[in-house]
Structure 1
Amino acid sequence: MRLQVQKYHPENAAEWNAFVKQSVNGSFLLERDFMDYHQERFEDHSLMLYLEGQLMCCIPAHVKAGVFYSHRGLSYAGLVISAAAVSIIDRIVDALLEYVNGCAFAKAELQLPPVAYQRINKEIAAVLQYKGFISNRKLHNQSVALDQEIQVSPKKSIRYRNGKYEGLRIEVSNDFKSFWEEVLLPQLAARYHSKPVHSLAEIELLASRFPENIVQYNVYREDALLAGITFFIKGEIVKSQYTASSPEGLKTDAVAYVYMEAMKEFKEKGCSIMDYGPVNEKGGSVNKGLQRFKKQLGCQEEIWERWEFDQNI
Structure 2
Amino acid sequence: MGFFISRYSNSEKKLWNSFILNCKNSHFMFHRDFMDYHSDRFEDFSLIIMNENNKIVTLLPGNVHKNVFYSHQGLTFGGFLMDKNIHAVDVIEIFDEVKDFLKINNIEKIIYKPVPVIYHQYPAQEDLYALFRNDAQLSRRDISSSILIEKGYNYSKSKQWSINKARKGGVSCKPIEQPSDLWGVIRAVLKENHQTSPVHSEAEIDYLKGKFPENIKAYAAFYQDEIVSACVTFESINVVHTQYLACNRLGRELRALDMLIDYVIAASSDYATIFDFGISNENNGRYLNNGLISQKESFGARAIVYDLYSVDLV
In structure 2, the residue matched to 1:44 is: 44
SS of residue matched to 1:235: coil
Q: Report the alpha carbon displacement of residue 20 of structure 1 after superposing the two structures with TM.
A: 0.8
Partner of 2:177: 174
Residue aligning to 1:91: 93
Distance in structure 2 (CA, Å) of the matches to 1:123 and 1:297: 32
- Give the alignment's Cα RMSD to 1 decimal: 1.5
Contact 2:163 2:255 in 1 (8 A): no
Closer/same/farther in 2, CA of residues 282 and 201 from structure 1, 3 Å limit: farther
Q: 2:311 matched to 1:309?
A: yes
Match of 1:67 in 2: 68
Aligned partner of 2:225 in structure 1 is: 223
Query: Aligned-pair distance for 1:311?
Result: 2.1
Residue aligning to 2:273: 272
DSSP-derived class of the 1:165 partner: helix
**Distance in structure 2 (CA, Å) of the matches to 1:139 and 1:230:** 21
Superimposed CA distance per residue, residues 164-187 of structure 1 (whole angstroms, 9 cap, x where no aligned partner) = 322222121321233102x10011
Give unmatched runs, 5+ long, in structure 1.
none
Once residues 145 and 124 of structure 1 are traced to their aligned partners in structure 2, the CA distance between those partners, rounded to angstroms, is 25
1:2 aligns with 2:2: yes
Q: Trace 1:23-172 onto structure 2 (pairs within 5 A).
A: 23-52=23-52, 53-87=54-88, 88-118=90-120, 120-161=123-164, 163-166=165-168, 167-172=170-175
Question: In the alignment, is the contact (CA less than 8 A) between 2:180 and 2:203 conserved in 1?
Answer: no
* Superposed displacement of residue 121, structure 1: 4.4
Number of aligned positions between the proteins: 309
- Which amino acid is 1:259 matched to? I
Asked if 2 retains the 8 angstrom alpha-carbon contact of 1:112 and 1:121, the reply is no
What amino acid maps onto 2:237 in structure 1? G
**CA distance in structure 1 between the aligned counterparts of 2:204 and 2:308, rounded to whole angstroms:** 26
How far apart, in 1, do the equivalents of 2:101 and 2:115 lie? 22
Kindly report which structure 2 residues correspond to 1:197-212, keeping only aligned pairs within 5 A, or say none.
Answer: 197-212=199-214
In structure 2, how many angstroms separate the alpha carbons of the residues matched to 1:213 and 1:58?
21
Identity %: 26
Q: Partner residue of 2:242?
A: 240
Distance across 2 between alignment mates of 1:282 and 1:3: 39
Instruction: Determine the structure 2 residue equivalent to 1:20.
Output: 20
In the alignment, the residues of structure 2 paired with residue 293 and residue 65 of structure 1 have an alpha-carbon distance, to the nearest angstrom, of: 39
Contact 1:57 1:79 in 2 (8 A): yes
Q: Which blocks of at least 5 consecutive residues in structure 2 are unaligned?
A: none
Aligned residue type for 1:143: S
Partners of 1:126 and 1:169 lie apart in 2 by 48
Report SS of the residue matched to 1:72. coil
> In structure 1, what is the Cα distance between the partners aligned to 2:93 and 2:158?
50
CA deviations over 1:24-55 (Å, ceiling 9, x no partner): 00111001000000101111000000002110
Report deviation, 1:85. 1.6
Q: Retained in 1: the 8 A contact 2:209–2:217? A: yes
In 2, are the aligned partners of 1:117 and 1:273 still within 8 Å (CA)? no
Give, in whole Å, the separation in 2 of the partners of 1:282 and 1:176: 29
2:292 counterpart letter in structure 1:
L
The aligned amino acid for 1:140 is: I
Distance 1:164 1:258, change over 3 A: closer
Structure 2 residue identity aligned to 1:159: S
Q: Distance in 2 between matches of 1:122 and 1:79?
A: 10
Q: Is the 8 A contact 1:174 1:214 kept in 2?
A: no
CA distance in 1, matches of 2:297, 2:126: 27
Cα distance in 2 between the residues matched to 1:140 and 1:264: 24
Q: Distance in 1 between matches of 2:87 and 2:76?
A: 23
CA contact (8 A) 1:165 1:257 kept: yes
Superposed displacement of residue 116, structure 1: 2.3
